Amino acid sequence: MKALGRRIALGLRARVRKAALGIERMLPRPAVTGGAFPRRPITRVVVFGRLPNPTIDYYLVARLRAAGMPPAQIVDIRDVHLGTIEPVGTLVVICRYATRPVVTWIERHSSVLAGVALFIDDDIGAVITGSEAKLGYRVFLYHRALGPLRRLNRYLDMVWVSTPALAEALSEAKAQVLPPAPPEEIWRGSAETEPTDGSGAVFIVYHATAVHTKEHRFLRPIIEEILRIRPQATFEVTADDRTASIWADLERVHVVPPSSWEVFLARTTQQRADIALVPLLKSRANETRAGTKRIDVVRLRAAGIFSASPAYGVPDDSAELRLPNRRKVWIETILRLIDDPRARAEAAAASRHLVVAASAAADRGLPGLGPTDA
């Protein structure tokens, strides 16, 4: 009977996945016009986004500052004063989201714009049709990210995406990859404390977004075991009303509710952690994610433990810790880091090295606009 029940459950899951794929294929997708890019000389760049926004900070801000880039302006899509923006020679960059007034402004001035580009850092269709996101967030994503494409695609000259996997998922858009390139001030942090020693308290964190329920469930038994055998360890987790219950009844666990990007950035700039956990379980949305949580880990000056994944890579000759999603391996690695401050320092330095290199890539500016494209 148990075997039969498992087969039925697997069959139902397969049908649900098939239905989700069918729905996703019906959702709007980005498509470019195929014309020349840019259409005319670029005199300025205007980025439209929902502010404050980690995507803009992690991908665009430093690139817009690069030598040789034209003047840039970042505009909140909720701003009603679009009439003050000069359209002639402007390259418009839509960062994830648009509103009806923004698309109308683009339509009205399309003949004098230098071009229209869209930047996306998630497979939004996969998030909408997946099982993790709340209904309200899915509606928001459709309304602000996919719905506008029905009008916006008529004017799109370029699509930029965060990872090669996302470019492949949106192959019809002929997207160019624009990996994270954060400004130094966003990852340097301000905590000046030295790492804790092996006899002192060890602070472990998992800062999740609202679409990682599976990762919470994966970590719960791991953290329960760690706290049982290492009394010097404490754990902080970001969890919403759905996932907070997963952490109920565990001592030395501090549950922090989700906050705005602005609040999260300010808090983690001041905060220090010894170990930061970044699990990613297999899902269609996770297959196309970029490794931006590495930047948060570096800002905390923590030793990161990452799932071996397209986002963070597989184990290599660096000291960064990328593990298979096996409970025993994660427990053994966390215990080793708790007991060995030197191992924590090596792992933290490896992640920092990667983020420094990512920041340096911003010097090339945006494709087609930066000094290397002159």
- Gap between the Cα atoms of 355 and 181, Å rounded: 8
DSSP string, 209-260: -TT-HHHHHHHHHHHHHHHHH-TTEEEEEE--TTTGGGGTT-TTEEEE----
Same domain, yes or no: 146 and 285: no
- Of 125, 149, 178, the one marking the end of a domain is 178
Per-residue pLDDT of the chain (374 residues; tens, 9 = 90+): 556 556 654 454 544 454 455 566 779 999 999 888 899 999 999 999 999 999 999 999 999 999 999 999 999 999 878 989 999 999 999 999 999 999 999 999 999 999 999 999 999 999 999 887 888 999 999 999 999 999 999 999 999 999 999 999 999 899 999 999 999 999 987 655 444 444 589 999 999 876 789 999 999 999 999 999 999 999 999 998 889 999 998 999 999 999 999 999 999 999 999 999 999 999 888 999 999 999 999 999 999 999 999 999 998 888 899 999 999 999 999 999 999 999 999 999 999 999 999 999 999 999 877 554 43
- Same domain (yes/no): 174, 217: no
Last residue of a domain, one of 150, 178, 206: 178
Q: What local confidence, expressed as pLDDT, does residue 370 receive?
A: 53
What pLDDT score does 242 carry?
86
Domain edge (last residue) among 159, 178, 197: 178
User: Do 119 and 17 share a structural domain?
Assistant: yes
Query: Residues 234, 348: one domain?
Result: yes
Same domain, 140 and 192: no
pLDDT score, position 26: 74
Q: Which residue has the tokens 């679009």?
A: 82
* Beta-carbon contacts of residue 235 (< 8 Å; ≥ 6 apart): 204, 205, 206, 223, 226, 227, 250, 252, 253, 254
Contact indicator for 181, 207 with CB cutoff of 8 Å? no
The pLDDT tens digits for 243-261 are: 999 999 899 999 999 999 9
| pLDDT of 89 | 96
Write down the pLDDT at residue 198.
Answer: 46
pTM over 0.95: no
The pLDDT, as a whole number, for residue 191 is 52
349 and 275 in a single domain? The answer is yes
Residue 82 lies in a domain: yes
Instruction: Please give the pLDDT value at position 207.
Output: 94
Give the domain CATH number at 301. Answer: 3.40.50.2000
* Sign of torsion over alpha carbons 281, 125, 208, 343: positive
84 and 149 inside one domain: yes
DSSP state of 301: T
The count of domains in the chain is 2
Q: What is the CATH number of the domain that holds 45?
A: 3.40.50
- Calculate the CA dihedral of residues 263, 264, 266, 267 and round it to 10 degrees: 110
Nearest to residue 33, comparing CAs of 142, 122, 118?
118
Residue whose tokens read 């899951």:
13
What is the rounded distance in angstroms from the CA atom of residue 167 to the CA atom of residue 120? Answer: 10
Cα 54 off chain centre by: 8
Quote the domain boundaries for residue 272.
187-359
Tokens representing 107 are 């339509």
From CA 94, how far away is CA 113, in angstroms rounded? 14
Asked whether residue 231 falls in the same domain as residue 315, the answer is yes
